Amino acid sequence: MSNLEPAAQPLPQVSHRGRSAAPIASSNAEGEEVPEFDSFGIIGPRGPPPLREFLDIWDVNMLRRPDEVNTPQHSTHLYASDHLIVRRGQEFQLKVTFDRPYKPADDQFAVEFIIGDSVFLDDDDEREECVLNEVGVIYHGAYDDMSERPWNFGQFDYGVLDACLFIMDKAAMPITNRGDAIKVARKASAMLNSHDDDGVLVGNWSGDYTYGVAPTSWTGSTEILLNYSSSKTPVCYAQCWVYAAVFNTFLRCLGIPARVVTNFYSAHDNDGNLKTDVILDENGRIDKHRTKDSIWNYHCWNECYMSRPDLPQGFGGWQAVDATPQETSDGMYRCGPASVQAIKHGQICFPFDAPFVFAEVNSDVVFYSRNPRDGTLEPVKVNSSHVGRMVVTKVPGQDARRDITDQYKFPEGSPEERTVLEKAEEYGCHREKATPPEADVELDMPLMEVRVGDDFELKLEFNNTSDQARTVDVYVSGNVVYYTGVTSSEFLFKTPRVILDPKKAEKLVMEVRSQDYMRKLVEQANLHFIATGKVKETGQIITSMRVVTLHTPKLSVEVSGLAKVSEEMMVTVEFTNPFKFNLEDVYVRVEGPGVMPPKYKHYSLITAGSSLTWTEGFTPRRAGPTKLMASLDCAALRQVYGQAQLTVKP
Amino acid sequence: MSNLEPAAQPLPQVSHRGRSAAPIASSNAEGEEVPEFDSFGIIGPRGPPPLREFLDIWDVNMLRRPDEVNTPQHSTHLYASDHLIVRRGQEFQLKVTFDRPYKPADDQFAVEFIIGDSVFLDDDDEREECVLNEVGVIYHGAYDDMSERPWNFGQFDYGVLDACLFIMDKAAMPITNRGDAIKVARKASAMLNSHDDDGVLVGNWSGDYTYGVAPTSWTGSTEILLNYSSSKTPVCYAQCWVYAAVFNTFLRCLGIPARVVTNFYSAHDNDGNLKTDVILDENGRIDKHRTKDSIWNYHCWNECYMSRPDLPQGFGGWQAVDATPQETSDGMYRCGPASVQAIKHGQICFPFDAPFVFAEVNSDVVFYSRNPRDGTLEPVKVNSSHVGRMVVTKVPGQDARRDITDQYKFPEGSPEERTVLEKAEEYGCHREKATPPEADVELDMPLMEVRVGDDFELKLEFNNTSDQARTVDVYVSGNVVYYTGVTSSEFLFKTPRVILDPKKAEKLVMEVRSQDYMRKLVEQANLHFIATGKVKETGQIITSMRVVTLHTPKLSVEVSGLAKVSEEMMVTVEFTNPFKFNLEDVYVRVEGPGVMPPKYKHYSLITAGSSLTWTEGFTPRRAGPTKLMASLDCAALRQVYGQAQLTVKP
Q: What is the 3-state secondary structure (H, E, C) of B81-104?
A: CCCCCCCCCCCCCCEEEECCCCCC
**What value does the mean pLDDT take over residues A353-364?**
90
Q: How far is C-alpha A167 from the chain's CA centre?
A: 18
Strand partners, A214: none
Give the pLDDT of residue B45: 32
Q: Do B375 and A110 touch (CB under 8 A)?
A: yes
pLDDT at residue number A10: 44
- What Rg, from alpha-carbon coordinates, does chain A have? 29
| Whole-number Å distance between alpha carbons of A81 and A126 | 24
- For B169, residues 6+ apart whose C-beta sits below 8 A from its C-beta are B26, B27, B29
Q: Which of residues 353-372 of A touch B (CB under 8 A)?
A: 355, 372
Side-chain half-sphere CA neighbours of A60 within 13 A: 12
On chain B, the residues whose CB falls within 8 A of the CB of A21 are 291-294, 486-487
Distant-in-sequence, close-in-space partners of A47: CB < 8 Å, separation ≥ 6:
none
A111 inside 8 A of chain B by CB:
no
CB contact (8 A) between residue B3 and residue A213: yes
pLDDT at A258 over 90: yes
CA distance A521 to A527: 8
DSSP letter for A176, please: G
Per-residue pLDDT for B11 more than 70? no
- Distance (Å, whole) CA B341 – CA B332: 23
Map residue A641 onto helix, strand or coil. Answer: strand
Q: Which residues contact A52 (CB under 8 A, 6 or more apart)?
A: A106
Cα–chain center distance at A438: 37
Q: Classify residue B114 by its DSSP letter.
A: -
pLDDT band at residue B1 under the 50/70/90 scheme: very low
| 3-class DSSP state of A279 | strand
Facing residues of B383 across strands?
B365
C-alpha–C-alpha distance, residues B315 and B308, integer Å: 6
| A131-158 pLDDT, tens digit each | 999 999 999 999 999 999 999 999 999 8
Return the bridge partners of A535, or none. Answer: A472
The interface predicted TM-score (ipTM) is 0.74
> CA A201 from chain center: how many Å?
12
Q: Looking at the predicted structure, is the pLDDT value of residue A40 above 60?
A: no
Rounded distance, CA A284 to CA A263, Å?
29
CA atoms within 13 A on the CB side of A75: 16
Q: What is the DSSP letter of B220?
A: B
pLDDT digits (tens, 9 = 90+) for B61-96: 888 887 888 888 888 878 877 778 887 767 888 888
Look at residue A326 and tell me whether its pLDDT is greater than 80: no
Residue B54 or B374, more confident? B374
Entry field: residues in chain B: 650
Q: Which residue has the higher pLDDT, A85 or A421?
A: A421
Residue among B249, B250, B256, B245 at smallest CA distance from B167: B250
pLDDT of B42 > 50? The answer is: no
* Confidence class for position B28, pLDDT limits 50, 70, 90: low
How would residue A7 be classed by pLDDT, with cut points 50, 70 and 90? very low
Cα dihedral across residues B418, B419, B420, B423: positive or negative: positive
Nearest to A329 by CA among A264, A273, A278, A275: A273
Rounded CA-CA distance B247/B262 in Å is 14
- State the SS3 of A599-640: EEEEEEEECCCCEEEEEEEECCCCCEEEEEEEEEEECCEEEE
User: Would the CB atoms of A18 and B488 count as touching at under 8 Å?
Assistant: yes
Q: Which residues, 6 or more positions from A467, have their beta carbon under 8 angstroms from its beta carbon?
A: A502, A503
Interface list for A 231-260 with B (CB within 8 A): 231-237
- Using pLDDT thresholds of 50, 70 and 90, give the confidence band for residue A42: very low
Contact B17, A206 (CB under 8 A): yes
Compute the nearest-CA separation of B49 from chain A (Å): 16
User: The whole model's pTM is what?
Assistant: 0.81
Crossing angle of helices A160-170/A181-191, nearest 10°? 90
Q: Quick one: chain B helix, strand, coil %, rounded to 5? A: 15, 35, 50
- Whether A331 has a pLDDT exceeding 60, the answer reads no
Distance from CA of B562 to the nearest CA of A (A): 32
Per residue in A474-505, pLDDT (tens digit) is 999 998 887 777 777 889 999 999 999 999 99
Residue A30: per-residue pLDDT: 46
Q: What is the mean pLDDT of residues B513-530?
A: 83
Specify which residues A463 forms β-bridges with: A442, A505
Q: Are B597 and B629 in contact (CB under 8 A)?
A: no
Residues in chain A closer than 8 A to B11 (CB atoms): 194, 202, 234, 236
- Look over chain A and give the mean of its residue pLDDT values, rounded to a whole number: 85
Find the helix or strand (DSSP H, E) in which B601 lies: strand B596-606
pLDDT tens-digit readout, A274-285 = 788 888 888 888
What was the pLDDT predicted at A15?
A: 57
**What length is written for chain A?**
650
The rounded distance, in Å, linking the Cα atoms of A154 and A223 is 9
Catalytic residues of A: 240, 299, 322
- When pLDDT is cut at 50, 70 and 90, the band that residue B234 belongs to is very high
pLDDT at B27 over 80: no
With a pLDDT cut of 70, the percent of chain B lying above it is 88
Distance from CA of B180 to the nearest CA of A (A): 10
Type of residue numbered B170? K
What is the pLDDT averaged over residues A306-311? 91
Residue B608 contacts residue B580 (beta carbons within 8 Å): yes
Q: Which residues pair with B530 in a beta bridge?
A: B477, B545
d(CA B141, CA B152): 20
The answer to whether residue B240 is catalytic is yes
The whole-number pLDDT of residue B522 equals 67
Separation between Cα atoms, residue B286 and residue B534, nearest integer Å: 12
* Contact criterion met (CB below 8 Å) for B159 and B148: no
| Cβ-proximal residues to B27 (8 Å cutoff; 6+ apart), any chain | B169, B175
| Strand partners for B489 | B480
Kindly give, in sequence order, each residue whose CB lies less than 8 Å from that of residue B397, ignoring residues fewer than 6 positions away: B125, B128, B129
Question: Rg of the Cα trace of chain B?
Answer: 29
Task: Note whether A211 contacts B: Cβ–Cβ < 8 A.
Answer: yes
Q: What is the pLDDT of residue B116?
A: 43
Active-site residue, from B240, B253, B304, B634 = B240
Give tens-digit pLDDT for B609-619.
Answer: 999 999 999 99
**Residue B256 confidence (pLDDT):** 92
Q: Residues 522..561 of B with a Cβ closer than 8 Å to A: which?
A: 522-523
Predicted confidence (pLDDT) per residue in A528-563, tens digit: 999 999 999 998 999 999 989 899 999 999 999 999
Backbone angles phi, psi at A257, to 5 degrees: -55, 130
Which of the four pLDDT bands, split at 50, 70 and 90, describes residue A49? very low
Of residues A14, A233, A484, nearest to B206 (C-beta): A14
Written as one string, the DSSP assignment of A42-104 is GHHHHSSPPSS----EEEEE---STTSSHHHHTT-TT---SS----TTS----EEEESS---T
* Partner-chain contact B236 A4, CB within 8 Å: yes
Question: With DSSP H G I counted as helix, E B as strand and the rest as coil, what are the percentages for chain A, rounded to 5?
Answer: 15, 35, 50
Provide the 3-class DSSP secondary structure of residue A484.
Answer: coil
Lowest-confidence segment of A318-327, B228-237, B403-412, B577-586 by average pLDDT: A318-327
pLDDT digits (tens, 9 = 90+) for B153-172: 999 998 999 999 999 888 88
pLDDT digits (tens, 9 = 90+) for B98-115: 888 888 777 777 776 654
Instruction: Yes or no: say if B298 and B266 are a contact pair by the CB < 8 Å rule.
Output: yes
Q: What is the pLDDT of residues B182-202, one digit of tens each?
A: 989 998 998 998 877 789 999
Helix (H, G, I), strand (E, B) or coil at B129: helix
